[in-house]
Structure 1
Amino acid sequence: MSILVLGGTADGRHLSQQLYHQGINVIYSVAGLVRIPDLDCEVISGGFSQRGGLVHFIQQRHITAIIDVTHPYAQTMSNTAVDAAKACHIPCWRFHRLPWEPQTTDQWQECQTFAEAIPLLQTKHSVFLSAGQLSQEQINQLLLNIRKTQQQRQWLRTAVKPNVKLPKTMQWIKAIGPFSYDNELQLLKQYRVDIIVSKNSGGEATIAKLQAARALSIPVIMLQRPELKHADKTFHSLTECEKQLIATFKPQ
């Protein structure tokens, strides 16, 4: 019997290590686009299509529970996990960090999608894009909405090199969190950023950009989290999630 942890986050790595050292057989799954973690438990990468699909993998490896500790915006994987668990009659639990909340002096504007955010960037001069990878269609739409008289630069920060053609006005910044407040402050000043586009990831690893934006009075467009299918249990405290997992799945 094994627990399948769907990871790709620091929380997922931490949880897998803790469960493994409690005697629970853990398989940690990660996309592997950035790096494959060095964990004591079994680690698989590259997704489940190459393994016959998630349902087949669950049946083949005798998985007794799925623990979804993916990024809050990994909508496809989270929903697939719920469906596969239901099909195999096993529980699917989820841990997601609580979203950030705006402070009194923050200048946030929430948008459901990147497409909804694009018109708000039309008159800006220096746009810091820190909401993950963008599709070619999203980039094209962004450029179409810039006023012809506007000299705008965009700074796209991601951990993995974009697999799309970037326009001359857009520069890729390769970086992997966590990020410090001083470095974020310096970056925003260096590029004279006048607006930030961000996902509401929660946690401490990337919150410094919001703290720096607050200090510099830079507005932030915050993309809201997607709606996910309901897991059997959802946790926002990693300690509580770990405690209940050990109580439920630790071998007697």
Structure 2
Amino acid sequence: MILVFGGTTEGKKTAALLESMRLPFVYSTKTNIAFETNDIVSYRYGALDEQQLEKYILGHDITMIVNASHPFAELLHSTIAKVAESLQIPVFRFGRQLLPKTANPLVFYVKTYEEALDLLEENKTLLALTGVQSIKRLTPRWKKNTTYFRILNRPESLAIARQSNFPRKQLILGFPSNDLEKEIDLIKTYQVDVVLTKETGNSGFLSTKIEVALKTDTSIIIIEQPKIPEYFIVVYDADTLELLISKTIVV
């Protein structure tokens, strides 16, 4: 049995691939999402610590892991690496190819949220495209300066925002987009001075975000993608993933 950590574009590609290969797998996400199951596909949700993951792997005869989770899910990556290496289970990391760095006075790259906060000037309107989980981490900023967060229009996301006491009127509900004009209009409508985002590659439309910033003379701060554990075997496309699975799987 294969265990897939998904909830991303890469996760959907992995699920489609394994179904086409007729390989039984479990699709796992942190929060409950709509996911269609069948005779070879099962679904689970909920965070797992190291002990819980080890118990799940042993209890479900997991022989391989495909980690297609979000690149910034650092705790999950660490948990998977420790448990999988301990049990000697191969992990294929379906990652996102990073874009070349953009050299421009409006574009800033940082390694942490703390570095990003240090760069932010007072009395500047911030648009955070870093996800609902980052609301708490950016509390020192939005408590004192006008800040908008674009988050997914999902009950669980709205609940997290409420728990952080973030102002509802400063939430922008929607998905990332590669519609240049739509994104430019967003910057102008909310009179944004600075955009904060993550280095997600084109799966997260990073190139569009950078282009929008440059066209609107808006600063953009990009939090660099964290390093992936060395134990993972990294792939960037479904064809390579299929080849590796075919060579590794025990039928």
TM range (shorter): 0.7 to 0.9
1:36 to 5, 30, 34: 34
2:234 aligned residue = 234
The runs of 5 or more residues in structure 2 that have no matched partner are none
What is the rounded CA distance, in whole Å, between the counterparts of 1:86 and 1:156 in structure 2? 37
TM-score of the aligned structures, taking structure 1 as reference length:
0.85
Alignment of 1:9-28 (within 5 A): 9-28=8-27
1:54 aligned residue = 53
1:110 aligned residue = 109
- Residues 216 and 83 of structure 1, relative CA distance in 2, 3 Å threshold: same
SS in 1 for 2:134: coil
- Residues 250 and 19 of structure 1, relative CA distance in 2, 3 Å threshold: farther
Does 2:121 match 1:122? yes
2:210 aligned residue = 210
1:249 aligned residue = 249
Structure with the largest fraction of helix: 2
What is the rounded CA distance, in whole Å, between the counterparts of 1:242 and 1:189 in structure 2? 44
Does 2:139 match 1:154? no
User: Aligned-pair distance for 1:19?
Assistant: 1.1
User: Aligned-pair distance for 1:74?
Assistant: 0.4
User: Aligned-pair distance for 1:216?
Assistant: 1.5
Q: What CA RMSD, in Å, does the superposition of the two structures yield over aligned residues?
A: 2.5
Work out whether residues 106 and 214 of structure 1, in 8 Å CA contact, stay in contact via their aligned partners in 2: no
What is the rounded CA distance, in whole Å, between the counterparts of 2:137 and 2:241 in structure 1? 38
- Residues 23 and 95 of structure 1, relative CA distance in 2, 3 Å threshold: same
1:149 aligned residue = none
The runs of 5 or more residues in structure 1 that have no matched partner are 147-151
2:6 aligned residue = 7
What is the rounded CA distance, in whole Å, between the counterparts of 2:151 and 2:124 in structure 1? 20
User: Aligned-pair distance for 1:42?
Assistant: 1.3
What is the rounded CA distance, in whole Å, between the counterparts of 1:232 and 1:105 in structure 2? 33
What is the rounded CA distance, in whole Å, between the counterparts of 1:250 and 1:177 in structure 2? 38
Does 2:147 match 1:131? no
- Residues 179 and 106 of structure 1, relative CA distance in 2, 3 Å threshold: farther
- Count of residue pairs the alignment pairs up: 240
Work out whether residues 65 and 90 of structure 2, in 8 Å CA contact, stay in contact via their aligned partners in 1: yes
